[in-house]
Amino acid sequence: MVNMVRNFFIHLSNNVFLNKQAKKWGFFLGADKFIAGTTIQNVSKAVKQLNTTGISCTLDNLGEFVLDKTEANKAKEKILSLLEAIEQENMDCHLSVKLTQLGLDIDQDYCISNMIEILDLAKKYNIFVNIDMEDYAHYEQTLTILKYLRKNYTNVGTVIQAYLYRSEDDLMDLKDVRIRLVKGAYKEDAKVAFQNQQEIDDNFLRLCKKRLLDGAFTSFATHDHHIIDELKNFVKENNLDQDHFEFQMLYGFRNDLQSKLAKEGYHFCTYIPFGDDWFGYFMRRLAERPQNLNLVIKDAFYTDNNRLKKRPVITSLFIVCFATICCIKARRRKS
């Protein structure tokens, strides 16, 4: 059942029609709780609020799989403007970028030139830039570009996905690189990735402990309090330096736990997405953690006083039914 729900939302995240329509609809089904608006002004406000509680941030200008240079250039310019805003407003945050948003599927050299422009400005302002790992089809290219960029820039790192069989080898290869370690949110083939959630969790925890012992700075991205508690105990038992890691969670998820970890003195970073191209990201978050549906349903159907909404119920039902029909039609076309 869990896999069926996960596959459903991953399919929605890849639906081009729904992604385009979502830009017209605006936020719905509680997406505004997990995405900090569509503008730099919106996201700056969210960052400053979290900074006052001792929480650092990483910002993601949403968008991926861009096939048009005009759109890729627009994304690059927005990222450069974001870097300027971080510097001017003295925000405690860094950037997360996707190579496919910057033209990887158009031309690799063009994508690299965009990244160099971004890294030059980021280096000037002493801002770290993390390259988000995308689907496995772009995995090798991403690592190749990272290694090329690392020849001239130390302020760039990437993400390793624990559900991939090769993740341990890649961590060894990147032992001196700042890494965000995640479980993985894309649907990948059994030939390259674990399919069982327990196996993914076990591998994630094992890789976290390995990175802690190796000493390279790592962001442990998980909302699982059981894993977090085990890592906290592991750090204490081995007398490890807390300055070598941080916990990281997504904006809007488990806010109480985020605040608790920061108050306990752990380095903590919130991953904040913003922008018009929000639908794919939001669907993958639901796929990654189906429990989040409870939050979405509550927001769509109930007020803050737990009273049933009226018109929003009709709207939400329409959107869910429409998305389901699109999903069914798409599957019929494939078969």
pLDDT digits (tens, 9 = 90+) for 18-61: 666 666 666 665 677 889 998 999 999 999 999 999 999 999 99
**Rounded to an integer, what distance in angstroms lies between the CA atom of residue 310 and that of residue 114?**
47
| 3-state SS, one letter per residue, for 73-134 | HHHHHHHHHHHHHHHHCCCCEEEEECCCCCCCCCCHHHHHHHHHHHHHHHHHCCCCEEECCC
**Rounded to an integer, what distance in angstroms lies between the CA atom of residue 20 and that of residue 27?**
13
pLDDT at 119 over 80: yes
Mean pLDDT of 327-333: 53
Catalytic residues: 132, 180
Ranges assigned E (strand) in 162-301: 179-182, 218-221, 245-250, 268-274
pLDDT at 262 over 90: yes
Q: Tell me, what's the pLDDT at 116?
A: 98
- The answer on whether 226 is annotated among ligand-binding residues is no
Range 36-277 classified under CATH 3.20.20.220: yes
- The set of long-range contacts for 236-241, using a CB threshold of 8 Å and a minimum separation of 24, is 238/212, 238/213, 240/212, 240/213, 241/215
Q: Tell me, what's the pLDDT at 307?
A: 64
What rounded mean pLDDT belongs to the chain? 87
- pLDDT, one tens digit per residue, over 197-236 is 899 999 999 999 999 999 899 999 999 999 999 999 999 9
Cα-based distances in Å from 94 to 111, 140, 143, 248: 20, 24, 20, 13
Ranges assigned E (strand) in the chain: 56-61, 93-97, 129-131, 156-161, 179-182, 218-221, 245-250, 268-274
In terms of pLDDT, which residue wins out, 33 or 74?
A: 74
156-161/245-250 β-pairing: unpaired
pTM: 0.85
Token pair, residue 282, equals 């939001």
- The answer on whether 141 is annotated among ligand-binding residues is no
Chain centroid offset of residue 40 CA: 18
- The answer on whether 223 is annotated among ligand-binding residues is yes
- The answer on whether 222 is annotated among ligand-binding residues is yes
- pLDDT, one tens digit per residue, over 277-307 is 877 777 777 776 656 666 555 555 555 566 6
Token pair, residue 280, equals 């794919």
- 314: confidence class by pLDDT, cuts 50, 70, 90: very low
CATH 3.20.20.220 domain range(s) in the chain? 36-277
- The answer on whether 11 is annotated among ligand-binding residues is no
